[in-house]
Amino acid sequence: MLKGKTALITGGGTGIGRSIALRLAHEGVNVTINYSCSEKDALETRSEVEALGVRGFLCKADVANDEQVRGMVRKTIEEFGRLDILVNNAGVTYFVDHDDLEGLREEHWDHIMGVNVKGIFHCCRAASTELKRRKGCIINITSVAGLTGRGSSIAYAASKAAAISVTKSLARVMAPEVRVNGIAPGIVKTRWVEGQEEHIRRYAGRTPLGRIAGPEDISEVAYSLIAHLKFVTGQIIVVDGGVFI
């Protein structure tokens, strides 16, 4: 069903992005793996992708930079001849307690909003013409923080709420050719939460399913939205084990 198609995954070298890259590669999808600083991880992910019998392509770009994003999309199409799937997974945060209002500095806001919100818009805009031509789809990785106002910082939660809004807006304006959906994970076992074992334990204890998510839990939802749920657009799928029901 997906064999021979091409996906561009931002932040594709680690964590959720890596898991989605491998899941799609398993289905015969060629993958552009975007990274901004984790080149070693991105190289390893490309090797794993290519071991599954498809082509991998690395592209360094800061998604907050529109010119770099347009170049990344152009290079992907030049490399593979097409672009069918866009996964906006790149994200940043700063861990600042919500009650530490003075600790959340302007540069935190600018960096977080630049990557987590403008980055999604830049990528979708740059890829829109090709995705419409291919009747493709977009998956935006958001967060339950955007629905609850909780999370690593107030700025992070605000950025994810904005990402959810952007997802809904783009689903409207890119239809009917392109479906745009979001996935809102809770805590996921990635390097973002390394060293926060007590926080993970408390969170898992509040989860009806008794654990936090692994990256594969998110990639399976992404795959379903891409491959099977053809009449779903503008939706935010919460994947948090039931914490916020």
Domain boundaries 6-239, CATH class: alpha beta
pTM, full prediction: 0.94
**Better pLDDT: 161 or 201:** 161
Q: Where are the domains of the chain?
A: 6-239
Residues in the chain: 245
Quote the pLDDT of residue 207. Answer: 84
Q: What is the mean pLDDT of residues 24-46?
A: 96
Q: What is the DSSP string of the chain?
A: --TT-EEEETTTTSHHHHHHHHHHHHTT-EEEEEESS-HHHHHHHHHHHHHTTS-EEEEE--TT-HHHHHHHHHHHHHHHS---EEEE---------TT-GGGS-HHHHHHHHIIIIIHHHHHHHHHHHHHHHHT-EEEEE--THHHHS-SS-HHHHHHHHHHHHHHHHHHHHTTTT-EEEEEEE-SBSSGGGTT-HHHHHHHHHHSTTSSPBPHHHHHHHHHHHHHT-TT--S-EEEESTTTT-
| Rounded-to-integer distance, Cα 124 and Cα 130, Å | 10
Model confidence band, residue 147 (pLDDT cutoffs 50, 70, 90): very high
Q: What is the mean pLDDT of residues 36-45?
A: 94
Q: What is the mean pLDDT of residues 148-156?
A: 93
Quote the pLDDT of residue 200. Answer: 67
| Rounded-to-integer distance, Cα 47 and Cα 42, Å | 9
Q: Could you read off the pLDDT of 88-146 as tens digits, one per residue?
A: 999 999 999 999 999 999 999 999 999 999 999 999 999 999 999 999 999 999 999 99
Are 23 and 215 in contact by the 8 Å Cβ rule? The answer is no
| Residue positions annotated with a catalytic role | 156
Tell me the percentage of the chain whose pLDDT exceeds 90: 84
